[in-house]
Structure 1
C-alpha cells in the first residue's frame, strides 16, 4: 500500500484534486452490447464520470432496448452532475429515432412486439 501511495504522489494523472467547473451543458456518450451497458459524462470537453453495467447472462432482450437503457442511465448520471442541457451520443439509429420522435413531440413512437411497453415506459422518463 505504501508503494502505491508513493507512486500516486509522483504519477497522479489528475495532478491533485479533481475539480469540475460548474456547467449546465454536457454530453453523454452511451453504448450497449450483449455483455454490458456503458456511459460516459463529458463536461467542458473532459470526461468527468464513466460507468458500466454488466448484462445478465440469460438476458435475451433486444439490443435496441439495451441501447435505450444506456441512454436512460446516462441521463441519470448527467442529472446527478447538475446538467440541464445534455447532448446524447449514441450509435443506435433506432434509439435516435425514438428520442427525436419523443423530444420533437411528433407522432407516436412506432414500436411493436413484446418490448413495446418497455420502450414506451423508458421514453416517457426522458
Structure 2
C-alpha cells in the first residue's frame, strides 16, 4: 500500500513512531500524548464511516495538533479533498486504489460529494 502526501505524490515512510486512533477513540484519553506525537494515524474501517473526519478536525482545531495526520484504511478517491480539508497530511492508500486515482480525484473533484458534505457539516457543528 503506497503512502502519499496531500499532493497525491508517493512518499517514503520514514517509520515515525506515533499513535493510531480507531473511529471510536476519545481524544481526552490521549490528550497528554499529543505534544510528543509526530504522527497520528486515524483508521477508516469503511469508507462510509465519517468519524475519522471528525477526529481529524477536532485534533487540529480544538487541540492544536501540528504533526502529521495520516488516514489509513478504507477511504475512496472521492474523499481525498475532504480528507485534506479536515487536516490530513498523509494517506496510506487502500490496496484497491492507486495513488494516481487519488491525485486525479483531487484535480477533478474540488467539492466533496453529498455524503462528505453531510459528514463535514457534522464535524464543523461539533
The TM-score range, normalised by the shorter chain, is 0.3 to 0.5
Q: Quick one: higher RCO (CA 8 Å, sep 6+), 1 or 2?
A: 2
Which structure: larger Rg? Answer: 1
TM-score (norm 1): 0.36
